């Protein structure tokens, strides 16, 4: 058996690993024994020589090792087959007959750090975020094809985090049939067109599915404003739930054109609706108070910790405008998908905006990840989607 590189931790720095955290940061490392190239499998030991686990090494990254197992075992096909099968069972139990579009593998949440796989009907979309998973891409494609029997596996490894791993962006067909420009999916009775090759994330915001369905139940007879709407998924659920009027705002003309098609696809053309292209910050300032439900689902404002001050100002501005636009009894669905924006800070920002709006506001609920986006309890960094429901009373 080949001798693997070893990461030796500084004294006392093994505790997070023993508690199940899958990341070893370079600052916790005393030394690395052996030659290491990005993505290579290596071992991690405590200062006292205790074996802690195996994972993917990358000396170029601040996260020098991503733990795959705490056992002394081989990291071959059998290992990855078992992890993929385990992930598949969770989805089959919770999502059967609800949707044909969902996350199959959620990185650290499914104990496969650096790997994202989403399903859109008969197509799987794969993202390798780390050098380690990138090395295993061919084997992973083979195992996914055997487990799920899709018609197509397409790669969308076009995320900025790959540069931190020393990797270039990579997109293209990995397996099976060439995909069309759009794939149609269904979600709790609503139908959507998804652009796998160019759409946000892997084509669609799958992480908001349950939150959209919850909105649907509250929308009957309501006037709804959907900000940062992308292709209008929240609005389609609101419309199918009986919304009286819909207004959609997004900066992308292409996204709004697809949203317009979604009104015909569902069909919801008879509901009065407006699609407004532009900056939501500016457009909201020019609207009048007349909405019963308002959705704020902006892109991440804080991709790094250093961005938090400016991100906080952005979220405050948006939520202040939202409260001013809501009727008495109106509901605000407000979200942050910034990894570095914790629950406490986000809640303080929203409550500060409520105070400055001069309106009396109740906090009535929280929203987050759906079942197919599990989070490893030992890895709180895996939680990024935070949503609050507020009521203007």
Whole-Å CA distances, 351 to 69, 211, 291, 356, 367: 42, 21, 19, 9, 16
Residue 175 tokens read as 């397996």
Q: Residues 310, 316, 320, CA angle at the centre, nearest 5°?
A: 150
The alpha carbon of residue 165 and the mean position of all alpha carbons in its chain are separated, in whole angstroms, by 20
Residues near 41 by Cβ (< 8 Å), separated by ≥ 6? 4, 54, 55, 56, 57, 75, 132
For residues 149 and 134, what is the distance between their CA atoms, to the nearest angstrom?
21
Query: What is the spatial distance between Cα 340 and Cα 331, in angstroms, rounded to a whole number?
Result: 26
| Residues 250 and 228 sit within 8 Å (Cβ to Cβ) | yes
Among residues 128, 190, 337, 390, the one annotated as catalytic is 337
Reported residue count of the chain is: 393
Cα 283 from Cα 313, distance rounded (Å): 17
| The two structure tokens encoding residue 15 | 């505790």
The C-alpha torsion from 243 through 249 and 255 to 257, rounded to 10°, is 70
Unique residue bearing structure tokens 């961005």? 307
CB 26 within 8 A of CB 64: yes
Distance of alpha carbon 207 from its chain centroid, rounded?
6
Q: Which residue has the tokens 């030991």?
A: 45
Helix (H, G, I), strand (E, B) or coil at 356: helix
Question: Parallel, antiparallel, or unpaired for β 190-194 and 183-187?
Answer: antiparallel
Quote the CA–CA distance of 264 and 380 in Å, as a whole number: 41
Q: Report the distance separating Cα 143 and Cα 393, nearest Å.
A: 53
Active site residue 337: yes
| DSSP bridge partners of 162 | none
Q: Which positions are catalytic? A: 337
């Amino acid at each position: 058996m080949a001798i693997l590189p070893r990461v030796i931790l500084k004294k006392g720095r093994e505790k997070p690993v023993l508690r199940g955290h899958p990341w070893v940061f370079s600052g916790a490392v005393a030394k690395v024994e052996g030659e290491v190239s990005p993505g290579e499998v290596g071992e991690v030991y405590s200062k006292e020589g205790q074996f802690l686990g195996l994972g993917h090494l990358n000396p170029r990254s601040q996260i020098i090792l991503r733990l795959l197992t705490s056992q002394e075992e081989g990291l071959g096909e059998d290992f990855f087959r078992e992890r993929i099968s385990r992930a598949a069972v969770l989805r089959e139990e919770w999502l059967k007959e609800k949707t044909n579009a969902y996350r199959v593998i959620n990185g650290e949440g499914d104990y496969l750090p650096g790997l994202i796989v989403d399903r859109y009907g008969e197509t799987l979309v794969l993202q390798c975020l780390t050098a380690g998973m990138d090395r295993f891409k061919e084997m992973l494609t083979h195992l996914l094809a055997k487990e799920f029997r899709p018609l197509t596996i397409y790669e969308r490894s076009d995320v900025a985090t790959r540069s931190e791993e020393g990797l270039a962006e990579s997109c293209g067909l990995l397996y099976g049939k060439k995909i069309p420009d759009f794939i149609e999916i269904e979600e709790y009775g609503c139908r959507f067109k998804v652009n796998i090759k160019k759409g946000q994330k892997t084509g669609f915001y799958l992480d908001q599915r349950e939150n959209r369905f919850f909105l649907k139940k509250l929308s009957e007879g309501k006037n709804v404003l959907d900000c940062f709407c992308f292709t209008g998924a929240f609005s389609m659920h609101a419309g199918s739930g009986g919304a009286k009027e819909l207004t959609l705002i997004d900066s992308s003309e292409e996204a709004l054109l697809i949203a317009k098609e979604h009104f015909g696809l569902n069909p919801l053309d008879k509901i009065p609706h407006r699609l407004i292209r532009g900056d939501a910050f500016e457009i909201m300032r020019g609207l009048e108070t007349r909405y019963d439900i308002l959705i704020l689902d902006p892109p991440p404002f804080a991709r790094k910790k250093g961005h938090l001050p400016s991100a906080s100002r952005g979220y405050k501005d948006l939520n202040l405008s939202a409260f001013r636009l809501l009727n008495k009894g109106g509901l605000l669905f407000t979200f942050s998908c910034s990894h570095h924006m914790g629950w406490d800070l986000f809640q303080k920002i929203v409550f500060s905006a409520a105070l400055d709006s001069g309106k009396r506001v109740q906090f009535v609920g929280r929203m987050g990840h759906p079942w197919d986006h599990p989070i490893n309890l030992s890895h709180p960094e895996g939680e990024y989607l935070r949503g609050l429901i507020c009521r203007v009373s």
